[in-house]
Structure formats: C-alpha cells, structure tokens
Amino acid sequence: MRFTFSQEQQQFRQEVCAFLREEMSPEYETVFGTFSEEKYWFSRDLFRRLAERRWLTVGWPEEYGGGGKTFLEQSILDEQIGYHRVQRVGITGINFAGPAIIKFGTPEQKARYLPPIARGEAEYCQGFTEPDAGSDLASLQMRAEADGDQYVLNGSKMFTSYYAHADFIYLLARTDPDAPKHRGISLFIVEMDTPGISTRPLPYINGEVAAQTFFDNVRVPRTCLVGQENQGWYHAMTTLDYERAGLERYARVRRTFDDLLSFSKSAPYRGGVFGKDPLVRHKLAKVKVGLEGWAALCWKVAWMQSRGEVPNAEASIAFLYGTKQRLYFAQEAMEILGKFGTLTPECDTAPIQGAIEGLSRESMHMHGAGTMEIHRNIIAQRGLGLPR
C-alpha cells in the first residue's frame, strides 16, 4: 500500500478543495444533525457544477461521462465533499447503482441511466432492507414475478434514504422463491413514480428522514432487470463494499475534530485557553490517534479498489473501527464541552456551530452498512478464514 499520492492526485485534491472552499459558504454547510431542503437543492446544484468538470464521477470510465481516473481520485472527491460539509446527495447513484450498471448493465441501460448520474441530474434511493430482512439480507421476501415482458413487484423496503427526491430506486427482489436464499434474487432499477409505489416517512435520530417504501402490484418492464435473473445477490455484493470504504464519513468527523481543536486553542479559560487544561489536551490527543488509524484503514480500502481488488474484510474493518471511533469522539467531545456540548446549531452560543450535539446523535446510528455483529462475522470468515 502506498501512503503517498501522485503529483496529479495531489493537484486534483488541491483543485477540488479550492473549488469547495470558494463555493461552500457557512450557511450551506451541513453540520451534524442539520438537514434542510434549501441545503439539499444547493448541493444538487453544486454537484452539477462538479459534473461539468467531470469530477462528480471522476473514477468512472470516460465513455460513461466519468473522468477516466481511478477509485483513489473518486475517494479524494468523497473526502473533500465530507470535509467541506456538503449535504449528502447522489450517493446511491454514484457509488452503487452506477458501478453496478457499468459492470452488469446492457448497452441500452448504460446509455439510459449513466449519463444523468454523471451529470448530477438523477437521484437514486436504495431498496435492500425489509421489515424482516436486515442483517440477514438474503432472507428478503419482496417478490418480482415474471408476467410476459414485465415483472410484477410486491412487498416493502425499509430505511429508504433520499426517497423524497429520488427518481429511481435500486432494489433487490426475489424472482425464484424455491431457490436457496442467496440465489433466486434479482437486481432492478425502477422509476419511483411508477404506479403502485408509496412511502411512509421514518424520522431518524440524527435529523434525517428515510421511509418505508411499499410496492403493490408494481408493473415494470423486463428492461429494468440489471444483470442476470436470479444473480442479483452477487451483483449487488460487488458494489456494497464501496459504502464501507467510508472516506466521506470519516472526513465529516475529522472536520468536526479540527474545529473542536481550533476552538480549544482560542477559547479563553481560567486565564489561558481551553486547550491548556491537561484533561482537554489528553482527550484530544487520544481522539487524534484513533482518527489517524481510521483514515489509514479507509485509504487502504480505496487503494485496494483502485487496483481492482475486492476489500471484503478490509472494508468491514474500516467501517467497524470508524463507527466505534465516531462514537468515542462524540463521547469525549461531550465531556470536554460539558453542558455547552448539548447546544444545537440554532443557539448562538453553541461552540463550533453545535456540531457536537449533532455528532452525538449521529454516532448512535451504528448499523448503516450492516450491524457490528455482521461486520465481525465478515472479518472472521473472509479475513481470518474461520468457519461459519
């Protein structure tokens, strides 16, 4: 693994950083726990401007509207997006649906779906988890029954992020109920305004809102099938590890740490500055060590992906370690700031824009890409070679 970047990659990082620094004014930054329609549409516009530079999908092949670079460049972009607190948009299309279509899609699907993603024009949501199928995703029960040149979808999906703005849903459904559970599953892309699709909002503790999405005799053409019928589980798993690399996630936490560090260096306290207190100094030093380890694990995953490797166990290690470090930092920051850490961004006296209160809620969301037990199983089985 290389711990340095090429001169071209360093220049790309500098250019993206300069662009975001100029474009992101404080009122559009999404501090932990703050989400709004205004910030969402600002981010959509910002992504279109990134797309004009071929940065939005910089790691995609040029023939699909990408920048023709590697996953390292895509990860550099993700890191900068997170560090500059751009509200999350477009993640499912760029990181999951798009790569799946590039690898498994037909020429017609590539021509239809990829250019709008690369231009920042299409929003996707993901339909994997179900009311009775989360950690054991292969137990999903949503049906897609073939009927002539169509499929008929029935069932529901849980925790559908970005549903309110999504043009398409990228989902798994069972096409052969008699096959072993990891087989008989197929991958689809469905327009969200298709008759029979409805949603019920599910508010999250971190301030975001997802939904339960219902499918009632939803008819879609066979051209919505991505890849081979009954092979959807294997198709989807090839892209899930991209979610677990986590550089955008890491960078958002790192930005909050850097802001807390700056605050500690300047805030007056007992005749000196806040950071002079030994307790504060030691807590920040311990968090710094953990963040450096998290960054190294994330970049290892990105490096492996740039070489065409599939980082199963490595991605789970990065996600699991990062989840614990985010929680640890939130707890330490709350102890450092005391009652001021509970102040929300709406309060003028909240340190560092109230980010610590939002981070403490965000850190409770510990299972976004699978529970901690699932990640430990992946590490044990695929990383250590232990039996199931």
Q: How sure is the predictor about 208, in pLDDT bands with cuts at 50, 70 and 90?
A: confident
Highest mean pLDDT among 179-183, 308-312, 315-319: 315-319
Q: Which residues span the domain enclosing 315?
A: 246-383
pLDDT at 242: 55
Q: How many CB atoms lie within 10 A of CB 46?
A: 22
* Residue 309 reports pLDDT greater than 90: no
Give the separation between CA 300 and CA 315, rounded to whole angstroms: 9
Q: Which of 27, 62, 89 is the last residue of a domain?
A: 89
Q: Which of 230, 262, 293 is the last residue of a domain?
A: 230
Q: What pLDDT digit, counting tens, does each position of 29-68 carry?
A: 998 888 889 999 999 999 999 999 999 999 999 999 999 9
pLDDT at 251: 97
Q: How sure is the predictor about 18, in pLDDT bands with cuts at 50, 70 and 90?
A: very high
Q: Which of 200, 230, 260 is the last residue of a domain?
A: 230
Q: How sure is the predictor about 1, in pLDDT bands with cuts at 50, 70 and 90?
A: low
Tell me which of 242 and 365 has the higher pLDDT.
365
Q: What pLDDT digit, counting tens, does each position of 170-193 carry?
A: 999 999 999 988 889 999 999 999
- The residue-averaged pLDDT of 137-163 equals 94
DSSP 349-360: T-GGGGHHHHHH
Q: Is 209 helix (H, G, I), strand (E, B) or coil?
A: strand
CATH of the domain at 310: 1.20.140.10
In this prediction the pTM is 0.92
Give the separation between CA 340 and CA 355, rounded to whole angstroms: 11
Report percent pLDDT > 70 for the chain.
Answer: 97
Mean pLDDT of the chain: 92
Residues 135 and 216 in one domain: yes
Residues 226 and 269 in one domain: no
Residues 258 and 366 in one domain: yes
* Residue 202 reports pLDDT greater than 70: yes
What are residue 352's DSSP bridge partners? none
Residues 225 and 259 in one domain: no
pLDDT at 342: 93
Residues 250 and 206 in one domain: no
- Total of domains in the chain: 3
Q: Is 116 helix (H, G, I), strand (E, B) or coil?
A: helix
Residues 196 and 263 in one domain: no
* Residue 138 reports pLDDT greater than 90: no
* Residue 144 reports pLDDT greater than 70: yes
CATH of the domain at 170: 2.40.110.10
Highest mean pLDDT among 223-232, 345-354, 374-383: 223-232
pLDDT at 241: 56
Inside any domain, residue 374? yes
Q: How sure is the predictor about 346, in pLDDT bands with cuts at 50, 70 and 90?
A: confident
Q: How sure is the predictor about 243, in pLDDT bands with cuts at 50, 70 and 90?
A: low
Question: Taking a C-beta distance cutoff of 8 angstroms, is the pair 358, 352 a contact?
Answer: no
Inside any domain, residue 78? yes
Give the separation between CA 124 and CA 96, rounded to whole angstroms: 9
